[in-house]
Amino acid sequence: MTAPLTRIWLRTFILILSGVIGTDSVLATDERPLPSRTSSVRLSVTSYERIPIATMLAHPDRYQMRDIRIAGTVTAIQTETMTNRMICGSAHEQTTLMVEDDSGQIEIIDRGACGKNVGALKAPMLKTGHQIDLLVQIMIPTNMGHSGLPVEATIRYIDLARE
């Protein structure tokens, strides 16, 4: 009797998962195809078009739930320990970077062990003044209790900029 219920649950889970995996292409509003990733550990940052910070902030809906490339200079860095276990189940470090390019600046978050940064370079390793090239995932906050930022940019991959 439990085997049929397990099969139904598994089929439902697979159907939901396949829908979730396809949502980034459904929610994307620009017609450019998403670049392919070279692997889950080493991404080719340069295969993504660099988006100026001001452009992304002016039209965040175009980039909602997308990975985009930003390049700039780290102007501020702050790492704190997050003790709220509701976020990912354990205490973790969260680093906030302020990154500036020629067009503007943006606050970018690295959630440490609870985040999605798949690269070897982690935000706490950076210093003010570093030139970086990174992929960030853009989310438009929908809850009213948020800090008022127009977008939340979460680090997916960091690389030091190549001169």
| Model confidence pTM above 0.85 | no
Give every CB contact of residue 54 below 8 A, 6+ residues apart in sequence.
Answer: 103, 104
The residue with greater pLDDT, 10 or 96, is 96
| CA distances, 144 to each of 58, 140, 150 (Å) | 20, 12, 12
Condensed to tens digits (0 to 9), the pLDDT of residues 11-59 reads 776 767 666 555 443 333 333 333 434 334 455 677 788 999 999 999 9
φ, ψ for residue 65, nearest 5 deg: 60, 25
- Determine the pLDDT at residue 19: 60
- Determine the pLDDT at residue 11: 74
